[in-house]
Structure 1
């Protein structure tokens, strides 16, 4: 059964397609959303609202900027940890950190709503590291993520915040050698980070006793539900007999999830970043219409050619793995350095593509939605939606890869 939001979304898309096929045009602009013709020609109606269903999300979610109430020094944190935080360039907490850290330090269960780029990783890592500095118990924390890339990013941040502290982590993700995972678990670790599938594999082999972990973190829980991991999560939780604290973070909190969340975390403090689920005002958003018979790929190349291509980082989202593979090959043939990241690629290939993108060795990273929340790269200048995202939330998550840390970004969505 489709949700009301999705039905409205599809209805608007059909109206858009019909409008262009019948050559009908609204007589006046309905919003600030721009329409960009793929032939770069100006005409009447350049400000036509042909994508109001996306723009509505942006308008309705605007709120006053949150005023940070604490500095890191105000939290009861280890002095050495505060020093490492400062060395990482974090001068003050983000909103979700400001609202979460004290609750987590006091041992409360926390359910947080926060999207990409809000500092949610630090919101749970900082108090966890503080806890481990005081009591470095092995197998203390289990962190579960929906994607391999997100697990690796959490591990990377943990290592940077614990340099010289003799705190160790193990990351368990699919697409890597099983023997390496087994060998890693043979060494004592304070936190385990991983995706549900590989974590369950290790448990079934008797190498990961869930009963030992007092602290559970579920990161990007909504995406885990979307990817069908709920049964694995429930099996893991049922065996965590020593669980004393649960931290659940989600970019969205639809009513349909409330029953599941209340079952997992029956008593919790709820916190929400006001920046969650809204588009940054730093992102200039355009729609590109491709006329019937026009070559869509040629339009894509023209858009990319208008950018300073050698100094740009562009993420190109498409719906299928096959399309991602084809677009990557076509872009390279056209002289635009590109690579792809999707579920059919091995973990090694995905890590290599992401590293090449971060290092500036490729300009365009072609990705599917499954990978959308696993990409955390600074200085992404543009996000391109080669097809219309399925939901408003997917749109926000995608374009949230650009316009971060106060920098300007662009988002372009193709409409056929």
Structure 2
């Protein structure tokens, strides 16, 4: 429906369900209308008609969708040798700048990197004759509207503009009114497909407990006829955790979420497309436009935020006329949110059935063999796994979880450890223990008078007379005055009273100087309170 209107150069608002071929709906007219070197050789155009910059611009919200659209256009434009370039973040600037210098016919990019290169005068948008906003509503939800408007301001006023998406909210229509000229709104539906979702997708909604979900998902993944499966989570942390748990249970799983570097994200998607990984756990970055053959099951591990997200998640299966199964696990806390989604899409699942990993109806509805447990048998572990797919060095410029272009953090830490000289002395804090019996003598002999008083207050007050005489020889004035003051303050025990005659001469000497004794006894009287 869009091909004749787009080839005529008219503006289009295209709306159709997921999996119905929107990419080629705008891709084929662009490939047909650009002027390439083959047209000059065939006599259909002159050499001066070849512009310096790109002739068409396609703006997409996510990096994965950017790469997929680029690959589709390269395949479709191979005969005419149309040059298509993907521009998105997470990759090095230099290869993209070099490709732009050599000449590009169609640019597919995300808003951030497009603005960067255009602001550096590396990307010339003055020759763009056609603009496409793919998944336009998602760009508005992600806050890309100011960036998109800045990109539109750099384009020539006279151009063709096309908007495509499965859902078209009011904000997209307002954008169309400002930047489009008499657009044709094309909404494609099948006569026998009345609902919002594709009719050949079987939907199941279960009320499941969050602690039972990993076990429940593990058993669903062992259903008969299950091919590739995609599991959607709301948060990046949940996606990473579920991917690890499934790997421990024996499944060949990979993860795609925002905390991963671009090299790791592309590695997981390549492994999923090549069949080395058959379970892809992802956030909603992979819910838009990702087209992988053989996806039979889509599992919503967590309830989606709204009905649009549900439609795009479920649309990863049942594409191009094939059948698929969509399973949504709704926790008790998400029941109000699910009721809103169910009402908006007019689905018959207002009260999801309470389901556990041992429920009989789960095995019956999803064709799970009897006796299936939550761990994949070793005989069924035939996939190569994520490690079999190499990580491409993209020259990433840093950030969390990046694996390409820089030395891993573990290796860097190991290098620092090897270069650090060995420690040659004992840490100072280990030599100063207050109640240690093995070093008590050294501490008293080497510390100041105040430290000796503290040590004497901690040591047990019951001592022999011989020990008292030996300590008096080492430090006669310190030990003598401390022992004389402690019994007076606390009420001396019997053993201390028996040791008093040995200290009598010293006590008499002290009586000859009463003022000096009083002056030095005051710290000792305060000592029991500190103890």
The structure 2 residue matched to 1:118, chosen from 8, 20, 23, is 20
Q: How many residues align?
A: 315
List, as ranges, runs of 4+ consecutive aligned residues in structure 1 with deviation greater than 4 Å: 133-138
Unaligned ranges ≥5, structure 1: 1-98
Cross-structure match for 1:279: 197
Q: Does 1:297 align with 2:199?
A: no
Alignment partners' CA distance in 1, 2:7 and 2:290: 28
Kept in 1, the 8 Å contact 2:242–2:281? The answer is yes
Alignment partners' CA distance in 2, 1:273 and 1:343: 33
* 1:143–1:257 CA distance, 2 compared to 1 (3 A): closer
Alignment partners' CA distance in 2, 1:238 and 1:415: 44
Cα deviation, 1:305-326, whole Å, max 9, x if unaligned, reads 23456xx200000001111111
Cα deviation, 1:333-367, whole Å, max 9, x if unaligned, reads 01011001112222221111111111111121011
Alignment partners' CA distance in 1, 2:224 and 2:218: 10
Alignment partners' CA distance in 2, 1:227 and 1:156: 24
> What is the CA distance between 1:163 and its match in structure 2?
1.8
The structure 2 residue matched to 1:258, chosen from 173, 177, 196, is 173
> What is the CA distance between 1:374 and its match in structure 2?
4.2
> What is the CA distance between 1:399 and its match in structure 2?
0.8
Secondary structure of 2:27 counterpart: helix
**1:173-188 equivalent positions in 2, closer than 5 A:** 173-188=88-103
Unaligned ranges ≥5, structure 2: 40-44, 332-531
Kept in 1, the 8 Å contact 2:201–2:318? The answer is yes
* 1:208–1:315 CA distance, 2 compared to 1 (3 A): same
Alignment partners' CA distance in 2, 1:144 and 1:382: 29
Cross-structure match for 1:323: 238
Larger Rg: 2
Kept in 1, the 8 Å contact 2:17–2:198? The answer is no
Cross-structure match for 2:120: 205
Cross-structure match for 2:70: 155
Cross-structure match for 2:80: 165
> What is the CA distance between 1:330 and its match in structure 2?
0.6
Higher RCO, Cα 8 Å, sep 6+: 1
> What is the CA distance between 1:182 and its match in structure 2?
1.5
Kept in 1, the 8 Å contact 2:231–2:282? The answer is yes
Q: Does 1:393 align with 2:308?
A: yes
Kept in 1, the 8 Å contact 2:15–2:186? The answer is yes
> What is the CA distance between 1:210 and its match in structure 2?
2.1
Alignment partners' CA distance in 2, 1:163 and 1:172: 19
TM-score using structure 2 length:
0.57
> What is the CA distance between 1:258 and its match in structure 2?
2.1
Alignment partners' CA distance in 2, 1:291 and 1:173: 39
Alignment partners' CA distance in 2, 1:362 and 1:370: 18
Secondary structure of 1:123 counterpart: helix
**1:226-265 equivalent positions in 2, closer than 5 A:** 226-265=141-180
Deviates more, 1:294-303 or 1:363-372: 294-303
Kept in 1, the 8 Å contact 2:17–2:189? The answer is no
Cross-structure match for 1:214: 129
